[in-house]
Structure 1
Amino acid sequence: MSIRVAMLGQYPLDEERIVGGPEAVIVPLVHSLARFHDLEMHVVTCQPGVEDRLTKTASGLPLHVLKRKRLGRITFHRRDVASIQRTLQRLSPDVVHAQGLGIYAAAAAHSPYPHVVTAHGIIFREAEFATGLASRFRRFMDSVYERYCLAKVKSLVSISPYVEEELVQTRGFQGRVYRIENPVDDIFFAMNGQGEEATILYAGRVLPRKGLLYLLRALAKVRQAMPRVCLRVAGETESAAAYFEACRQFIKQQVLDSAVIFLGSLTMEQMVEEYARCAVLALPSKQETAPVVVAEAMAAGRPVVATRVCGVPYLVEDGVSGLLVHYGDIDGLASALLRVLRDSQLRMQMGQRGRKMAETRFRADVVARETRQLYLQLAAG
C-alpha cells in the first residue's frame, strides 16, 4: 500500500533556473522521493502570473500549479491558503510536507492531515536587514506571519541546529522536531579537479546580509598579493538595487573592474560550470541558516571560506573542509582566501574532506530515505 504525500513549496516551473535555497532543496528532494514505489507524491506550488493548471515535474510527478493572489500580506494570505487547502481536499493525502514557514506551512497546519514543515530561512532574523520603508514593512509582515505559522505547526524538520536555537529556544516552538539536512543534487558530486587557482566564486543574491561588499574589500587586499585573482558573482542583483550600486561604486573606486564579473542568475547547468571553474567558494554573510551553496561546494569538492555566523559552523569544519572568519573582519577574510588560493595541496585536502562529509550528509538519496521514514511515521500516527 502506498502513502500519498502532498509536497507544498515554491517549486520552480523551470527546473533549470532555480532562485534561492528553498527551490534548490525541493527539486532534488522531490526527484529522489519519486523513486520510492510506496510513495505517491504530489507537488503543490503557488506562482504569480499564471493560471491554475496541472502539469508534471521533470521526474514525472503531478505538479499542481496555483495562481498566487495579489495583496497577500495585507490579507494574511487567506486566499492563497484557501486555494492550497482546496487542492489538499481533492488530493486527500496521508501526509502533507510544507517547505518554509509561510503560506505552505499555514495551509498544512490548518488542514486535517498529518503534516510536517521544513523551516528554511529564519525570517524574523532576515527582517533585521531590510532597508527602506516598503521592504521593512514587507519583512515585518513576513516575520509576524512566521510567528503565526509556528504557533500552529505540530511537527518541524530542522535542517540545522541553528534552526532549533532560533525557533525552539528563542521562539518557543512546542511541537516535535526532526533533524534532516538539505539535499544536494547528484550533479555536484560528479565534479573532478581543483578549478582555476585564482578564481573565487560568490554564489547568492546580492543583498546586504550576504556581505558582498565586505568580500570586495577583502578582494582588493588579495589582489595586491595575487594580481590575477578573479571574483565571479553568481546571483541576481535586482532585489537590493542600492546595495548593488554601492558594490559597483566600490569596484570602480578600487579599479577592480577586470577582477569582478557579475554573472546574474544562472541555470543549474551554468552553476555547475561555475563550481567546476572556481578554486574556492566565499560566503561573507552576516546571517545564514543552512546555506545550500556551502553544501553544493562541499559536494563539488571545493573548499569554503565563510563567516562564523548562525548555521555556517554546523556545515564548515574550520581548518578541515574550509576556513571560518568573523563577520566584517576584512583582513581575516583576505588572509583566509590567500591561504587557500596559494596552497593547491590544502585546497585539494579541504575539498576531499568536504566531499566526504557531503556524501554522508547531503546526498539526495540519503536525505530522501530519512524523509520517507518520517512520512511513514507520520502516516502511522
Structure 2
Amino acid sequence: MTRKIKIVFILGELRMGGTERQFLEFIRRLNRDQFTPYILAFHREGMLRTEIEKLQFPFTTLDFCETKGRFHPASYIKLYKTLRKMITYLQQEKPHIVQSYLPQANILATLTAKIAGVPIIITGRRATIDERYMIYPKFPDQWLQNRLNRWVSMIIANSSIVRQQCLQREKYMTEEKIQVVYNGVNINLYPKDIDQEHYKKTLQIPKHAAVVGIIANLHPRKGHQIFLNAAALVLQIYPGTRFLIIGRDDGMKASLEALTHTLHIEHAVRFTGERDDIPELLSVIDIQVSSSHIEGLSNALLEGMAAGKPIVATHVSGNPELIVDGHTGILVPPDNPERLAQAILRLLADQDLRSNMGKAGRQRAEQVFNIDQMVNTTERLYKNLVMTIS
C-alpha cells in the first residue's frame, strides 16, 4: 500500500477522561508513514487540547454545546449549524475513514460522514449499554444508534462483554462488524521512580502509612460511597491506613465529603481532584480499588496493573477480563462494602501477597494490554477496511 490513509477522528470531549487518554496514547503512536490523522472536536477547551496541539496535527474545534438546555430551540439551531460545519469539513478533507468513540460523537459522526460520502465509518463502544445510559441519561443514544448502525463499516469494542451486549441488544449488528480491541497501557511509564516520602508529604499522608487508592471520576456509577464505607471498616482494624480518591468532580464531591464526616473518617481520606500525574500517584498507592457498579474496560485498573499494584475490584462488566481473581487481584461482589473491606484487609495483612499479585498484574498488562499491541491491531483493521474500497 503506497498511499497514505487519511483518517478524521471525531471527539466529543477534550476533557481528559479514560477514553481521551487512550486516544492520546494511540494517536502519538500511529504510523505517520502510512496514516494521516486529522482531529475534529465538538468543544474548544480541555486538558486534551494542550496535548493534541503539542503533536501539531490538523486540529479543528466546533464549539458545540447545549448551553440553553437540550430542548430549547437555540440548541436545535446550534446542532443544525454544527452538522452543516461537519459535513462541509468532511467534504473538503475527503478522508478515507471517519472514526469516533463515544455515543454523541458516534451519532453525529455517522450521520455527517454518510452524507459527506466518506467510504469508511468506524464507531466505538467503550462501555456496556447499561453504563452508557448512566453516563448519558438524556441522550437517545440507543434508538438513534440502532438506526445508524446500518451505515457503519466497523464498530470497535474495548472488551468482550461490551461486544457481546452489542450483538444481543443492538440492531444491524453482525459478528464481522464488531471487533474487540482491548485498551492499551504504556508500560514504560510505570512504575515511576519518585521520592515517595516527599510525594506523600504533599498529599498530607504520613510516611509509613499504607495507602489504598481509587482512580475514578466522582460519578454515581463508580461506587465511591461503597469505597468509603469499606474504608471505615478497614480503619477499625488498621487505623493508620490512608485512602486516596483521585478523579474529577462530576457533582458528587460535597456528598462524599459529608459521608466521610458521618463515618468519622475524614482524617484518613484525601480528595486529590483531577490529576495528570497518575504514574506518580500510583507509586505511593499500596492497593488499588475499583468499586464500580458497571464498567467497560477500566483504564485506571490497567494503569494500576502496569504499575505493579494489587487490585481489588468489583466483579462487574469488563473487570473479570482484566483481573485474574486470586492471581493479579481480588474480585468482589458490587455494592458490598463488607466484602470489599475484607479483600483490602487481606492484602494489608500480607505484604508477600501484595507483591506477588502486583508482579503478576504487571506481567499480564505487558503481555495482553500493551499499548503498542493495541495500535498495531487497530492499524491492521484500518488497512483491511481500505482494501475493500480500493
- Tell me the TM-score normalised to structure 2 length: 0.84
For residue 56 of structure 1, report the CA deviation from its aligned partner: 5.5
Partner of 2:242: 230
**Matched position secondary structure for 1:231:** strand
Partner of 1:28: 25
Q: Out of 209, 219, 233, which is 2:221 matched to?
A: 209
Partner of 2:255: 246
Measured in 2, the distance between the counterparts of 1:245 and 1:337 equals 25
Summarize the Cα distance change of 1:72–1:31 in structure 2 as closer, same or farther, 3 Å threshold: farther
Summarize the Cα distance change of 1:146–1:172 in structure 2 as closer, same or farther, 3 Å threshold: closer
- Give the unaligned 5+ runs of structure 2: 197-207
**Matched position secondary structure for 2:54:** coil
Say yes or no: does 1:115 pair with 2:121: yes
Letter aligned with residue 373 of structure 1: R
- 1:260-295 CA-to-partner distances (Å, cap 9, x unmatched) read 01111112xx22211111011111111111111111
Measured in 1, the distance between the counterparts of 2:128 and 2:87 equals 24
- State how 1:329-348 maps to structure 2 within 5 Å: 329-348=336-355
**Matched position secondary structure for 1:67:** coil
Measured in 2, the distance between the counterparts of 1:145 and 1:102 equals 10
Partner of 1:66: 62
Partner of 1:6: 8
For residue 46 of structure 1, report the CA deviation from its aligned partner: 1.3
Measured in 2, the distance between the counterparts of 1:48 and 1:212 equals 30
Measured in 2, the distance between the counterparts of 1:262 and 1:56 equals 28
Measured in 1, the distance between the counterparts of 2:161 and 2:295 equals 9
The count of corresponding residues between Structure 1 and Structure 2 is: 359
Letter aligned with residue 180 of structure 2: R
Partner of 1:358: 365
- State how 1:174-185 maps to structure 2 within 5 Å: 174-175=173-174, 176-185=177-186
Partner of 1:286: 293
Letter aligned with residue 300 of structure 2: V
- 1:282-311 CA-to-partner distances (Å, cap 9, x unmatched) read 111111111111111111111111100111
Q: Out of 42, 48, 51, which is 1:46 matched to?
A: 42
For residue 145 of structure 1, report the CA deviation from its aligned partner: 4.2
Measured in 1, the distance between the counterparts of 2:191 and 2:235 equals 31
Letter aligned with residue 237 of structure 2: A
**Matched position secondary structure for 1:324:** strand
Considering Cα pairs closer than 8 Å and 6+ residues apart, tell me whether 1 or 2 has the greater RCO: 1
Summarize the Cα distance change of 1:56–1:208 in structure 2 as closer, same or farther, 3 Å threshold: closer
For residue 72 of structure 1, report the CA deviation from its aligned partner: 8.2
- Tell me the TM-score normalised to structure 1 length: 0.86
- Give the unaligned 5+ runs of structure 1: 13-17
